[in-house]
Structure 1
Amino acid sequence: MIKIYITLLLFLFSTNVFAQVHKPIDTADYLKRKDFLKKFSTSNELLIKDLKAKYSGKTEKELSKIYKEFGEDFEKQVANKDFIFTSIFDEKAKNLIDNLRKNNPKIPKDLKILIAKDNTPNAFCLADGTFVINMGLFNWLDNDDQIAAIISHELGHNIERHSLKIFLDIIEQDQLDKITVQNIKSSAENKNKKAFDILKNRVYKKGAERRNNEMQADSLGYTIFKNSDFTKTEYVNALQKLKDFDTISPRKLKMETYKKYFNLPKQAFQEKWMKKEDFSLYNYNHYKEKLNKDSLSSHPEMTLRIQKLKQTFPELKADLQSQKPTEDFLLTEKTARMEILPNFYHSEDYGLGIYASLQFLQDNEEEQHYRKWLGKCFAKIYEARKSYNLNRYLDRVEPKDQSESYRQFLSFMWNLSLEEIKNIAEYYNTKES
C-alpha cells in the first residue's frame, strides 16, 4: 500500500493551480451515517440468512463468518468517517450509474454509493449493493467516461458474484488441503517438499482464477459500457490510465526543496539531516523467490487485459487519445486534488502527508494550502516521536521496496531530533495560523 501511495504522488503536478483557498469537505454527517449503518447492518444480516439457506455444514459456517466479520469491519470504517455521504463526487457517480443502467437491466437497482476518503484510484462493489468509489479515481482519470468505465468493470465483478465464488473456493480448498496434509503426516519422507507443493499449487490456482475473474469483468464491464452513451474507446483508455498508475516512478524531491522549507529563522538547515545509510552491500539475492511471480499476480498485466479486450471487441483496436474533460469534471477533479492532504491526514499517514506537501510546494502549487498541511502533519509526527510510536506514522527505510527519493526523505525525517521536529511544527503552524 505504501508503494501505491508513493506512486500516486507523481501525478499531483500536472493540473492547474487553484486561485481560491480550499475548505476540506465537511464530514459532519452523523444522521446520514447512522441511517446508512442501520440499513447496511440489516442488509448484511439478510445476506447471511440467504447464504445459510443455500449452503450447509462447514461451507455455511465459514461463509457466514466471513460476511459477518467483513460487515463488522466495514461498519467500523463508516463510523470512523472514512466515507463521505454528500458531496460533488456521489452526485456525479449517481448520474454515471443512472446512464449505465438505461440499457443494462442486470445492474442492481438498489445500489448505494459511498465515496471513500482514499487517494488511490479504485472502486469496488459489495455483495449487498453498496458501491464504494475512492476519491482518487476522480483525480487520476481524465474524464467522466473513464470513471464510468471503471464503474462498469466493478459492476461486472458484482453481477458475476466473483467475491462469493472466491470465498467458496477458499473454503473448499481448505478442506482438500487438510486431507492432503493428513496424508503427508503419515508419509515417511519429503514432508517439507510435499507441504510446499500444496502451497504452490494452491497459490497458482488462486492466481489463475483471479486473473480469469479480472478478464471476465473486463468483458462484461465493456458490454455494459458500450450499451450506454459513452465513447467506447475510453474504456481501454481508463485501463491504460490504471496501468500508468501501476508503473510510473515517483518524482524526485530535490535537495533545494529541503533547504528552502527547513532553513528556518530560529533553526538553520543542517546537512547532517540528509545523511543516508549505505545499502550498497545489501545482498538482495539472498532471498530466492520459490514461486513464479507471473503465476502469483492477482491482477494480470494490464497490457494483456487490454490486448484481450481488443481481440474480443474489434471496435477497440484503434488507439485514440482521451477526450477532453468537461468543465463539470474539472471541478470534480480539482476538489479531489485538494482533498489529497486532508485524506492523508484523516488516515493518519502523516509521513506521506509531509512528503506529498513538499512535492506540491516544490512545484509552487497552492503555497498557503500545503504549508498549512505541512505544519499539521509535523505536529502529529512530533506527538508520535514524543510518545515513542513514530513507527506507526512514518515508514522505516527499506532499500528493496522504496525509491531513492523516498528513502532520502525517510532518512531526513528519522535524522531529525525531537526538538528539531517541534521547531518545524511550531514554525509552520504559527506562520499559517
Structure 2
Amino acid sequence: MIRKFTFFLLLMFSAIFFAQIYKPLDTSDYAQRKEFARNYMANNELLIKDLKSKYSGKAGSELPKIYKELGKDFDDKVKNKDFTFNSVFDAKVKSLIERLRKNNPQIPQNLKILIAKNNTPNAFCFADGTFVINMGLFSWLNNDDQLASVISHELGHKITEHTLKAFLSMINQNQTDKLVVQNIKSNKVNRNQRAFDVLRDRIYQKGAKNRKQEMEADSLGYVVFKNSNFKKNEFINALKRLEDFDTISPRQLNVETYKKFFNLPKQEFNDKWLAKEDFSLYNYNNFNNKLNKDSLKSHPEVTLRINNLKKIFPELKNEVADEKASESYAILEKIARMETLPNFYHSEDYGLGIYTSLQFLQDGEEEKYYKNWLGKCFGKIYEARKNYNLNRYLDRVDPKNQSESYQQFLNFMWNLNLDEIKNIADYYQYKES
C-alpha cells in the first residue's frame, strides 16, 4: 500500500513537473542537516573508540587520526549542503537496498542514505554505515536494476571492509618507506634515480591492490545482486554505462548554437570570439611519461572487470540489451537531469555549467530554464574575471585531453572581454528571466 501511494505521489509530481518551469530541489533543510551531522559525529567518535581498542602500536595511533579527519571532512560537506535530505530519490534507494537485503543477511542493518548533489555517477559507503548515492547515477544509468548493481558493488566494498584494509596497508607501508628513505640517504650513489624507483614501485603496488579490491567488490556485489532476483545482465550493462561516462559531455556543440544564443540585441555576435589557439607547433609525442598511466589507475579498465565477471559467472557471457526504465525510475531520471545545472552551480563548476546549458539549449530542452542558468553561471564568470581568478572556474585549453568541441568552447570563453561577459550575464539574468 505504501509503495502504491509513493508511486502515486511520483506521478502527481510528474504531472506538475512537466506543466511548469522546473524548480530545483529545496535545500532549506537546516534541521535535518544539523540532526544528521550530530548523529554522524557521535557515531564516528564511537568508531574511533572501537578502533583504539582493537588495534595497538602504529595502527592503533594512526587509524583514529585518519577517521577523525575523514569525519571532519564529511561533516564540512554536510554543512556545505552537498547533500539533499528527504528528497524524491530516497524512497527508491531505500527500496532497492531492502530488496538486496532480503536474501543477503550480511548487508549491515544500520545503513543511512544520503543523496549527493554531484553529477558523477558514483556511490560510496562510510565505515559507520552512511551510504552516499550521487544524483548523477539516476541521470546516467537506465533503470532500477542498474542502480541496484552499483549499490551492490559498494556493498561489496563495505562487507569486506576494503577501506579499513587500505588504511592499514598504507600505515604499514609508511613504516617501510621510512626505512627505505634512511637507506637512500646513507648512500649518495645515484640517489635521485633510486628514490624515483622506490616511488614508482610504491605507486604501482598501491594501484595493483586497489584494482584487486575493485574486482573483489564486483564479484561479491554480483552475488548480492543476483541473490535478490534482479536481471543478471544489467550488472554488466551498468558497467558499460559507467565506462561511457565523461564529466565533460562529448556531445558536439555547433557553431550555430553560439551564434544563436550570443547574438544579442545590444551586442552582436563577433566571429573573433571563436578564434582558436594554435598548438600545431607543439609535438606532444616528444613527451615520454616516466610512469605507466595504466599502472596508476585505481579502478581497472571496465573491459577487464567485465571479462573477469564473465569468467567467474558464465551466465553473464550472453549480452542482453538494457531493460526499459520503470515509470518511477524515468521520473527520477528526469529530475536528476534537471538538477544537473543546480549541481554544477553548487560545486562552482560555472564553466561546465555554461557548456552544459548550451548543449541542452541546442537540443531544445526547457529553454527558459536553461537560459536562466546560463545567465547565473555567466554572472559568476563575470565576477571571477573581474577578480582575476577565472582559472578557478574555467579550464584552460588542453588539446591532448579535450574534445574539439570543448576546446572550441574554452577558446570562446577566454576570448570574451569583461564587458562582453557582463552583457551576456545581464541579458540572460534579467532580460530572459
Please tell me the TM-score bracket, short chain as reference.
over 0.9
The aligned residue for residue 14 of structure 1 is none
Counterpart check, 1:372 vs 2:367: no
Higher relative contact order (CA 8 A, sep 6+): 1
The aligned residue for residue 94 of structure 1 is 94
Counterpart CA distance in 1 for 2:118 and 2:129 is 20
- Alpha-carbon distance, 1:198 to partner: 0.8
Alignment of 1:271-420 (within 5 A): 271-420=271-420
Distance 1:247 1:128, change over 3 A: closer
Distance 1:414 1:247, change over 3 A: closer
Counterpart CA distance in 2 for 1:299 and 1:271 is 43
Residue 264 of structure 1: SS of its match in structure 2? coil
- Decide whether the 8 Å contact of 1:18 with 1:366 is kept in 2: no
Report the AA paired with residue 338 of structure 2.
M
Greater shift in the superposed pair: 256-265 or 241-250: 241-250
- Decide whether the 8 Å contact of 1:385 with 1:418 is kept in 2: yes
User: Residue by residue, what CA displacement relative to the aligned partner does 1:138-173 show, whole Å, maximum 9, x if unpaired?
Assistant: 000110010000000000001111111111111111
- Decide whether the 8 Å contact of 1:378 with 1:424 is kept in 2: yes
- Decide whether the 8 Å contact of 1:121 with 1:134 is kept in 2: yes
Q: Structure 1 stretches of 5 or more lacking a match?
A: 1-16
- Alpha-carbon distance, 1:285 to partner: 3.1
Counterpart CA distance in 2 for 1:247 and 1:275 is 25
Report the AA paired with residue 56 of structure 1.
S
The aligned residue for residue 8 of structure 1 is none
Report the AA paired with residue 304 of structure 1.
L
Alignment of 1:25-424 (within 5 A): 25-245=25-245, 250-424=250-424
Counterpart CA distance in 1 for 2:204 and 2:210 is 10
Greater shift in the superposed pair: 358-367 or 237-246: 237-246
Report the AA paired with residue 374 of structure 2.
L
- Alpha-carbon distance, 1:283 to partner: 2.7
Counterpart CA distance in 1 for 2:372 and 2:428 is 7
Greater shift in the superposed pair: 250-259 or 144-153: 250-259
User: Residue by residue, what CA displacement relative to the aligned partner does 1:20-39 show, whole Å, maximum 9, x if unpaired?
Assistant: 31110001111111110011
User: Residue by residue, what CA displacement relative to the aligned partner does 1:295-352 show, whole Å, maximum 9, x if unpaired?
Assistant: 2221111111111111111111110011111111100100000000111111111111
User: Residue by residue, what CA displacement relative to the aligned partner does 1:366-425 show, whole Å, maximum 9, x if unpaired?
Assistant: 111111111111111111212222222111222222221111111111111111111111
- Decide whether the 8 Å contact of 2:248 with 2:352 is kept in 1: no
Report the AA paired with residue 273 of structure 1.
W
- Decide whether the 8 Å contact of 1:124 with 1:131 is kept in 2: yes
Residue 372 of structure 2: SS of its match in structure 1? helix
Distance 1:249 1:27, change over 3 A: closer
Counterpart CA distance in 2 for 1:228 and 1:34 is 35
Report the AA paired with residue 124 of structure 1.
F
Counterpart CA distance in 2 for 1:293 and 1:388 is 34
- Decide whether the 8 Å contact of 1:111 with 1:130 is kept in 2: yes
Counterpart CA distance in 2 for 1:37 and 1:374 is 33
User: Residue by residue, what CA displacement relative to the aligned partner does 1:209-238 show, whole Å, maximum 9, x if unpaired?
Assistant: 111100000000011001103111111111
Residue 244 of structure 2: SS of its match in structure 1? helix
- Alpha-carbon distance, 1:86 to partner: 1.1
Counterpart CA distance in 2 for 1:73 and 1:249 is 29
- Decide whether the 8 Å contact of 1:51 with 1:60 is kept in 2: yes
Counterpart CA distance in 2 for 1:322 and 1:388 is 47
Residue 239 of structure 1: SS of its match in structure 2? helix
TM-score normalised by the chain length of structure 1? 0.94
Residue 132 of structure 2: SS of its match in structure 1? strand
Counterpart CA distance in 2 for 1:195 and 1:156 is 36
Counterpart CA distance in 1 for 2:247 and 2:263 is 34
Counterpart CA distance in 1 for 2:337 and 2:126 is 26
Distance 1:246 1:384, change over 3 A: closer
Residue 148 of structure 2: SS of its match in structure 1? helix
Counterpart CA distance in 1 for 2:354 and 2:320 is 37
4+ aligned runs moved over 6 Å, structure 1: none
Greater shift in the superposed pair: 163-172 or 383-392: 383-392
Residue 88 of structure 1: SS of its match in structure 2? coil
The aligned residue for residue 20 of structure 1 is 20
User: Residue by residue, what CA displacement relative to the aligned partner does 1:112-156 show, whole Å, maximum 9, x if unpaired?
Assistant: 000000001000001110000000000001100100000000000
Counterpart CA distance in 1 for 2:232 and 2:426 is 52
- Alpha-carbon distance, 1:42 to partner: 0.6
Report the AA paired with residue 194 of structure 2.
K
The aligned residue for residue 9 of structure 2 is none
Counterpart CA distance in 1 for 2:75 and 2:427 is 39
Residue 131 of structure 2: SS of its match in structure 1? strand
Counterpart CA distance in 2 for 1:130 and 1:208 is 27
Report the AA paired with residue 340 of structure 1.
T
The aligned residue for residue 12 of structure 1 is none
- Alpha-carbon distance, 1:247 to partner: 11
TM-score normalised by the chain length of structure 2? 0.94
- Alpha-carbon distance, 1:18 to partner: 5.2
- Decide whether the 8 Å contact of 2:51 with 2:64 is kept in 1: yes
Aligned residues: 417
Counterpart CA distance in 2 for 1:150 and 1:387 is 41
- Decide whether the 8 Å contact of 1:144 with 1:325 is kept in 2: yes
Counterpart CA distance in 1 for 2:196 and 2:352 is 37
Q: Structure 2 stretches of 5 or more lacking a match?
A: 1-16
Report the AA paired with residue 54 of structure 1.
K
The aligned residue for residue 10 of structure 1 is none
